[in-house]
Amino acid sequence: MADFSQTRSLFKIPDGVIYLDGNSLGALPLAVPARVTGMIEAEWGHELIRGWNSAGWMVQPRRVGDRIARLIGAAPGTVVMGDTLSIKVYQALAAALSLNPGRRVILSDSGNFPSDLYMAQGLVRMLGDRATLKVVEPEAVEAAIDDSVAVLMLTEVDYRTGRMHDMKALTKKAHDAGALAVWDLAHSAGAVPVDLAGADADFAVGCTYKYLNGGPGAPAFIYVAPRHADVAPPVLSGWMGHEAPFAFDLDYRPGGGIERMRIGTPPIIALAALDAALDAWDGVSMQEVRKASIALSELFIAEVEKRCPSLTLASPRDASRRGSQVSFRHPDGYAIMRALIARGVIGDFRAPDALRFGFTPLYIGEAEVRGAVDILEEVLANRLWDKPEYRQKELVT
């Protein structure tokens, strides 16, 4: 059984802060600074370029990928790190389309993260009449899967409301219709139990700076099902995905298995930070995390609805259909969130009117939830948010 009081001791949370934004940027694991400093001084500083061999930098993307694989229900050797999530979306989507050449339609939903849709739109523009993007409401996805669909591309947990798709059921529906399924796990990895192998997903991608606490801009990951690993075309054919990168051939030959999904030189310093952050997950099961996050979010919803009647629940009420975040709506949501942040309760805002709160049991407990609602109630009851400075939009919301 996971001891979350112990895992909380592994993170730096500033005094006077209740941090409910780990669904956007995870808290700093205390092990990260020493690990990164050691990597810089002992590996880069002493080994210099020899570190690619002596310190194992070259295999770091695959080794760290295997650590994440455990948390998303994937077999060793099926996940590799590198680049940003948007790049990995493009890579997975283009590969999936190439594996289903007789069809043109990419099916997604309006709850998808906009960057995923932007990447799909860019790919469609490049392919011309060989591909088209169809976007439907989340509730209409299942009915829209038919024999015209080449690829189903969805984010499992909606970034605004936490609404969660049924990955296994929708993947099966896609396969039954002859389509492939690409899943974005940005709000799933480290938040909810994921079983990519059990769901028979074709491709999956995700970021590591949210629930996995890898730090701002931490590298993303890509998963490829073993049945596709040696045939999926690496559309972004960078030198690290070459069969023999240091042969320096002028023509590209894809590497074997998941290695072909590597693109450029890996960010070793960022990977060192992520590797240290993942230590907090040792001995922790996703089932225990899920049970705790549901308890925290249910407590939060009950207390907010009892004490803050001007807020309207935007997330699914059924916890089984919700990820590890809760959103409430209010016409002045942005100003309210700014007022909360000024008082040490850090959540975030998503347009047009959603106050968003994340629940990460590794470092958030019942006391923090109750304390956050106390401050939220005070801010609303006394209209403490109704000030010009709280209405002024910042660059990042």
The catalytic residue positions are 113, 184, 209-210, 356
How far is 139 from 156, CA to CA, in rounded Å?
13
278 CB neighbour count, 10 Å cutoff = 21
Closest CA to 167 of 73, 31, 307: 73
Query: Is residue 151 within 8 Å of residue 106, measured between CB atoms?
Result: yes
Q: Which residues are bridge partners to 206 per DSSP?
A: 221
What's the rounded Cα separation, in Å, for the pair 358 and 346?
Answer: 10
Sign of torsion, CA 386 387 392 397? Answer: negative
How far is the C-alpha of 242 from the C-alpha of 246, rounded, in Å?
9
What is the C-alpha to C-alpha distance for residues 114 and 117, in angstroms, rounded to an integer? 5
Sheet holding 312-313, edge to edge: 312-313, 325-329, 354-358, 348-350
Q: Coil, helix or strand for 323? A: coil
Helix or strand holding residue 153 (H, E): strand 149-155
Q: Are 347 and 356 in contact (CB under 8 A)?
A: yes
CA distance 168 to 246: 40
Q: 349 phi and psi, to 5 degrees? A: -125, 140
CA 206/CA 345 separation, integer angstroms = 27
Backbone angles phi, psi at 280, to 5 degrees: -65, -20
